[in-house]
Every structure is written in structure tokens, then in C-alpha cells.
Amino acid sequence: MAYTLDSVLITEEELQQKVKEIGLQMREDFQDESIVLIVVLKGAFVFAADLIRELKRKVTVDFVVASSYGNQTETTGKVRLLKDIDINITDKHVVIVEDIIDSGLTLSFLREHFKLHQPKSMKICTLLDKPERRKVDLKADYVGFVIPDQFIVGYGIDYAESYRNLPYISTMKEE
């Protein structure tokens, strides 16, 4: 099946406003504590780039590459960790930054993986949350938007590696 863009679900202005709010909340929560943001590539790179500039403080940023969808629209159920973190997170306050939580498999895998490093604390920050699709119990600490079970792209999120550069979130429909 092929898909094409349908309609705008979240506008660029709404996204920017929400990112500011999340940034402000994190600043209040962490105050002067040092934090490490772990960005889950590829999807979270756009959100994370905007979010770190809203934190307006010293942060450390690292990246993991995790993929479970390949070019499919349904999760394969198997999370592949293609690149791990390079920096030491032991005894650090860690925030994992994701673009979307769907089945929850990616983040539950990463959470267990990072726990082994014994961080001081670990929070999850996601721009989008699709609770209807959950296969494992997983709740984020910072959630931008709770969205219905619609096929979406943009602001980092892809369909077969395209559309990540849209500045808004759009739904997709069958061609």
C-alpha cells in the first residue's frame, strides 16, 4: 500500500509552543542539577534540536540509534540498537527524548538498557503519545500531545524515510 499526505494534525506554531512549555517544565524540575539528554535517532532529532535550545542551560547530549519499524508501518516487535551512547551516565540525571511512543517497545527496551548503567534518575520525554497502541506498560514523564491512532509524519517522523523535514505533523492516507 502507498500513502500520501492528508491533513495537518499539529501546526508548526502549536509544536513550537509545546516545546517551549516542555522546556520550561524541565528547567523548573531540574533547576541547577546537571542533566544528560539521550536522543533516540532518527525520529527525535528535530524535536530534540528545538528542545535543547529551550532549556537555556548547560546540558550534555548524546544519541542512540534505535529502530523497530524498518520501512514498515507496523512495528516488527524487535528493537535494534544500531548505536549506543558514548558518554557515562552513571549517577547522572538522564532524560530520554523521543518523538513518539506507539507500542512502547522501543522505550521499554532502552529504559532497561540504560538502567544497567545506574543513572541517578531517568525520565522519559516524548513529543507525541499514542496510548491506544501500547503493547507494554510505559508512561512518559513529559508528553507533548496525546494523539489518536492515526498514521502521521513530520517534525522528525518518517514514512519510509521521507517527510522528516516537515515543520508540522501531518496525517497520511492511502493513495
What is the binding site for ligand PRP (CB under 6 A)? 40, 42-43, 67-69, 75, 98-106, 158
Residues that bind Mn ion (CB under 5 A): 43
- What's the closest the beta carbon of residue 92 comes to ligand PRP, in angstroms? 22
The answer, yes or no, to whether the previous bond of 42 is cis (omega within 30 of 0) is yes
Among residues 28, 18, 25, 39, the alpha carbon closest in space to that of 94 is found at: 39
- In the complex with ligand PRP, the residue whose CB is nearer, 36 or 101, is 101
Catalytic status, residue 84: no
Return the C-alpha cell found at 139.
508512561
Q: How far is the CB of 136 from ligand PRP (least distance, A)?
A: 9
Q: Which does 102 bind (CB under 5 to 8 A by kind): ligand PRP, Mn ion, Mg ion, none?
A: ligand PRP
Question: Can you tell me which residue has the cell 532529532?
Answer: 45
**Which one of ligand PRP, Mg ion, Mn ion, none is in contact with 50 (Cβ closer than 5 to 8 A by kind)?**
none
Question: In this complex, which beta carbon is closest to ligand PRP, that of residue 24 or of residue 82?
Answer: 82
Locate 132 and state its grid cell.
491506544
45-58 burial, b for 16+ CB within 10 Å, e for fewer? bbbbebbbebbeee
Region 147-166 residues binding Mg ion, contact defined as CB under 5 A = 158
Give CA–CA dist 70/76, Å, rounded: 8
Cβ proximity to ligand PRP: between 5 and 57 the closer is 5
Residue of 50, 99, 102, 129 marked active site: 102
Grid cell, residue 111, equals 529504559
152 near 171, Cβ under 8 Å? yes
Q: Which of 30, 45, 69, 168 binds Mg ion (CB under 5 A)?
A: 69
Residues from 96 through 115 that contact Mg ion (CB under 5 A): none
- One-letter amino acid at 86 equals D
Cβ neighbours for 147, distance < 8 A, ≥ 6 positions apart: 9, 10, 128, 129, 130
Active site residues: 102
Residues that bind Mg ion (CB under 5 A): 69, 158
